[in-house]
Amino acid sequence: MIQLSIAEIAEIVGGTLVTSESTLPADAVVDGVVDTDSRLMRPGGIFVAKPGEETDGHLFVGAAREAGAVLAIVERELDEEIAQIVVADVVLALGEFARAVVARVHAGGALRVVGITGSNGKTTTKNMLAAILERHGETVAAKASFNNWVGAPLTMLRITESTRYLVAEMGASAPGEIAKLVRMAVPDIGVVLKVGLAHAGGFGGIEATAKAKTEMVADLAEDAVAVLNADDRRVLAMRDATSARVRLFGLGADASVRAEDVVSGRDGTRFTLVIDDQTAPVHLRVLGEHHVYNAIAAAAAATELGVPTADIAATLSEITRAERWRMEVLGGGADGVTVINDAYNASPDSMAAALRTLAQITGPDRRSIAVLGVMSELGEFSGEEHDRVALQLVRLGIDQLVVVGPEARRLHITAINEGSWDGESVYTDTQDEAFELLRRILRPGDTVLVKSSNSAGLRFLGDRLGEAFA
């Protein structure tokens, strides 16, 4: 974080500063880590006591102080020997804190901010772009999927006066949330990847989702750049909603940043990266042809920041995985079983893409096994979207389906109704049951996809299978 006195921070967040003889004084300057997790505190840190659904950050102010925190942002004054800023709403204060810090560094002229949103692919694209940019200057990017009102500002507060690039992932589960994050970070480049049914329950349908994603580019300045997916008609339509200059990415000739000659296999995807009149070969080792879109979106943002095409292609070719639990290839040991752990998140689009990849990379003499859990946050669309996944799975010829958990049982029922009645679909209540079943039925050469929403926790089943067949 940049250096600020605790009095300046109090003024920024509109809070009341409480100090004593045993705490830092008002004019003390701090620049330590800012976090809501007391376990991540370091000497000189700032602890944000966020109330939560299961616990309350105010209970951990003492632990944060013992770990080295010197300032706490709280909603009520506590009997703790630490300087405190008392605010009405800690989350709103955190956002205002981030907005002010980004604005100060941005005003210095060196910082460039990229905001990334979309129903799928945000984290992968963010990681790819950060990998490209960190070779050209100090880069701050979100950890994991830190993309909401808490995670995004915590990422923003990691910047310093020497930070050249801030890559901010911006997610939302309801209208207006992306707009607030955009006002917080004020991106120089806004990237929109795809409009799908992720979090459809919160938005109310795909058109409402498209409207919410448009918030990324609607308020961009005229000298900013909107990077849009030319192959998604709802994203492409956003060019009429922004005053920023538009840069298109995609697979077709109308995109100035595109992938040509795309060929996928078990070792990843090869393509030719085209940026305006320049070309370069890419071997994207991240499994799944759908990740090509994430790669060329990152390339489009990077080229707007002055990174040469050859450098972009070279870095993309060196990336071996998108993120923990995202198309992560495990196993492949003595038993010859390959496990693809893609169970950090799941939406209808990402589920369909993962199943296509499973079918695509499984040879004719090998078996494909899909271990699936629930796709959450789909609201009224949940039933029909789970039916659609089951139908696709049958049509793709996936050899074996294992459904895990009561919330996902409809996948099993629909698969049977669509023709998977000869033991090709099996339902298990728990991960332990699924693990024991898979231990019995898997054989050398099998490729196993584990896919579910984060809430189902199948990523841990994927890890267990990866260890068992390492």
Q: What is the pLDDT at residue 180?
A: 94
pTM of the predicted model as reported, rounded to 2 decimal places: 0.86
Does 211 carry a binding-site annotation? no
Q: Is 124 annotated as a binding residue?
A: yes
pLDDT > 90: percent of the chain: 77
> How does pLDDT run across 433-445, given as a tens digit for each residue?
999 999 999 999 9
Q: What are phi and psi of 108, to 5 degrees?
A: -70, -20
Q: Please report, for the domain that includes residue 235, its CATH number.
A: 3.40.1190.10
What is the mean pLDDT of the segment spanning 210-235?
A: 96
Domain that holds residue 389: 328-468
Is 301 found in the same domain as 228? Answer: yes
pLDDT tens-digit profile of 18-58?
999 999 999 999 999 999 999 999 999 999 999 987 789 99
Can you give the pLDDT at residue 107?
A: 94
Taking CA 346 as the corner, what is the angle to CA 342 and CA 352, rounded to the nearest 5 degrees? 85
151 part of a folded domain: yes
pLDDT at 8 over 70: yes
Instruction: Specify if 323 maps to a domain.
Output: no
In a shared domain, residues 343 and 386: yes
Does 122 show up as a binding residue in the annotation? yes
Do residues 270 and 194 both lie within one domain? yes
Q: Is 118 annotated as a binding residue?
A: yes
Which DSSP symbol is given to 379? G
For residues 425 and 401, is the Cβ–Cβ distance under 8 A?
Answer: yes
In whole angstroms, what is the distance from residue 315 CA to residue 366 CA?
32
User: In this predicted structure, which of 166-175, 187-196, 291-300, 456-465 has the lowest mean pLDDT?
Assistant: 166-175
Domain of 71, CATH number, reads: 3.40.1390.10
CA 33/CA 381 separation, integer angstroms: 41
Sign of CA dihedral 54, 55, 56, 61: negative
Tens digits of residue pLDDT in 332-381: 655 689 999 999 888 898 899 999 999 988 988 899 999 999 999 888 88
- 214 and 314 share one domain: yes
Could you give the count of Cα atoms lying within 13 Å of 235 in the half-sphere of its Cβ?
27
Residue 203: pLDDT band (50, 70, 90) is low
The CATH number for 457's domain is: 3.90.190.20
Q: What is the mean pLDDT of the segment spanning 73-77?
A: 97
Are 175 and 98 in contact, with CB atoms under 8 Å apart?
no
Q: How many domains does the chain have?
A: 3
Q: What is the pLDDT of residue 321?
A: 78
Judge whether 119 is annotated as a binding position.
yes
